[in-house]
Each structure stands twice: as C-alpha cells, then as structure tokens.
Amino acid sequence: MRDYRIGRLKGRFVVMWNDDGGSRRRYRLEAHTQKDAEREARDLILRQTAPAKGLLVSQLWAAYQEEVAGRRQESKLAQTGKNVLPVFGHLSPDQISIEDCRRFIANRRQAGRKDATIRTELGCLRTALTWAVKAKLIRNAPRIEMPQTPPPRERYLDRDEVARLLTACGDPHIRLVVLLMLTTAGRIGALLELTWDRVDLDRRLIKLATNDIGPRKGRATVPINDTLMAALQTADKAAISAYVIEWGGRKVSSIKTGFNAAVKRAGIDHCTPHDLRRTAGRFMAEAGVPMEEIAQYLGHTNPAITRSTYARFSPEYLRSAASALEM
C-alpha cells in the first residue's frame, strides 16, 4: 500500500496520494467517519493502482490482512501466506483454476503436509478472496478446491498418563498451563491470553473470554477447583506480569517446545494441547456429569455437539435401552 493522506474538503473526506509519475491524485470519499474513510481510501487506492489485468492475489491478501489487523486472523494470514503467496500471489483471482488448487495440494502433500494443514492454507485464500468480493475489490471469487475434511482426531489421556505428564513438566509455566487445560477445559489460545484480572480467586471463577465482543468459541466462565486453586495461588504470588502464563515476566506465545518435551519425558504417545481439552470432557462424562453442564463448561453453544462427542463415555450411556431388552 502506497503512502496516502486523508483530509477534508468542503465538509467531505478526501484521500490524496502521489502516483508513480509524482502527480498528486485526490478523490472525494463517501465515508462519514474517519474509520470508514480509512477503509474506503485503501480500497480506492487498490482499485486505482491495480495493474491492467486486475488486482493480484498478493495485493488482496495484504489488504485483507490490514482489515483484520490486531485480530488472531492477522497472524494466521502471516503464517499461511508464506506457503500460499509464492504459488498464487502473482495471479489475479480470475486466473486461479481448479488445476492450480490441485497442483498446490499435491505439492504440499509431497512436502509432508497433512490435509488439515492444506485446508487451513487454502481456506485462508478463499476467505481473503470472499472478503475482496464483499469489499467490491473484485467482481467474483474463484472456486478454491480443498482436500476433504479429515476425520476428527480422537485422543484422550487416561488418569495415569495425566499424572505422568504433570510430573514430567519441567518448567512451572508448562505445569500451570497443563493444569489449566485439564481443569478448565480451555483452549490453549484462550489460556495463553488469560490475564489475572479475569481470575477471581475470592469467588473461585475464571473468565476465559477476553471481553463480551471478542472470540468466544470454547471460552466459558468456569469454577476453580481445589487442584487448580493451589497452583494459581502460588503463581499469583510469583507473578510479575499481567498474564497468568508467563516466562521471564513476559507473555508466552507458544508452549510447543516445553509441552512436547514433557510429553516425551512422560513416555506418552503423540499428544497435543487440545487433547487435554478433550480429555477433560471425557473425565466429566465418565463421572456422570450431565451433557448440558459439560457443554456449558466447554463453551459449546449447541449441546448436541457435546452429546455426539462425549455421551458414549457416560456410565448411563444406552443403559435404559439395554435394560429394555432384558429377557
């Protein structure tokens, strides 16, 4: 995006910039607020400076990344763009074909990437182009073919594996985040963003949602049990930052290295942080906790999703049906 300036002329917002020849360009905007003017100005500059064959995928990708700046999608686009843009970035959207997508899938598979990863990458491309249509930067978005959705991964730890994992956690912040995942069933992203102002030790409650308008998927307000309470009280006394999970006084952005090292020391077969969330759901179901309560704990808006995943672990699962078949 080239440098530009937004000003006012006769009570209306205008945008100004210099073109490649050094001449000043000025356009009146329809926006009525500064924020709307910023958005409209960027879209206008993209259209006016587009090459003859139209806006390129790389330009649209950058524009969408600016649109979601400050949100989690921004970092996701930065990561996936490293693999998507070298292949599609130089093309205009209408030049992308199904064969291009299939070739990308084949090459990524050959590089050892799983279909779930490839779906994420192509999904970001499709989202960016769909946004470009809504922003009226392009007329139509091409069809982006993706691999089929892989079957859900089912990995649950048993009680012995959980005990071994906790023992194997070498660093305090790794042990604390493992405890949080197991006792709150929170997603790793929510827990790494958790700040002390959302931990109420007096009322023994944790609010996983950052605010009422931010991401809420899997972010419930959950009680603090006795196991977690002791760990949080210790961490609170030693805290030197606003974040519950910290290292050297700074927010932890990833636990991949420390978590994988603990899994290896514990002698546990492949395990991811999200498996601990699933394990928590299973433990609740095995204890006979009602599905509706488990759904609230997991932050599921639809209890049917919880039931389809965890009902089979309940001690009462199909018992009444089996009793009806007594001879």
| Whether domain 159-313 has CATH 1.10.443.10 | yes
Decide if 316 contacts 309 (C-beta within 8 A). Answer: no
What's the number of CA atoms in the CB half-sphere (13 Å) around residue 5? Answer: 8
Decide if 60 contacts 50 (C-beta within 8 A). Answer: no
* Distance separating alpha carbons of residues 177 and 165, to the nearest angstrom: 12
Paired with 246 in beta bridges are: 251
- pLDDT mean across residues, the chain: 90
**pLDDT at 219 (0 to 100):** 77
The model's pLDDT over 51-92, given as tens digits with 9 standing for 90+, comes to 656 789 999 999 999 889 888 789 899 999 999 999 999 998
**pLDDT at 217 (0 to 100):** 55
The model's pLDDT over 44-53, given as tens digits with 9 standing for 90+, comes to 877 776 665 6
* Distance separating alpha carbons of residues 44 and 76, to the nearest angstrom: 26
Equal fold, 5-134 vs 159-313? no
Task: Identify the helix (H) or strand (E) that includes residue 71.
Answer: none
pLDDT band at 93 (very low <50, low <70, confident <90, very high): very high
255 CB-contact burial (10 Å; exposed 0-12 / middle 13-18 / buried 19+): buried
**pLDDT at 2 (0 to 100):** 66
Judged by DSSP in three states, 229 sits in: helix
Which residues of the chain form beta strands (DSSP E)? 5-9, 12-18, 24-28, 199-200, 205-207, 221-223, 246-247, 250-251
In the predicted structure, residue 214 carries a pLDDT above the cut 50: no
pTM above 0.95, yes or no: no
The model's pLDDT over 229-253, given as tens digits with 9 standing for 90+, comes to 999 999 999 999 999 999 989 999 9
- For the chain, domain boundaries: 5-134, 159-313
**pLDDT at 52 (0 to 100):** 54
**pLDDT at 99 (0 to 100):** 92
The model's pLDDT over 253-297, given as tens digits with 9 standing for 90+, comes to 999 999 999 999 999 988 999 999 999 999 999 999 999 999 999
**pLDDT at 105 (0 to 100):** 97
Q: Which CATH code fits 5-134?
A: 1.10.150
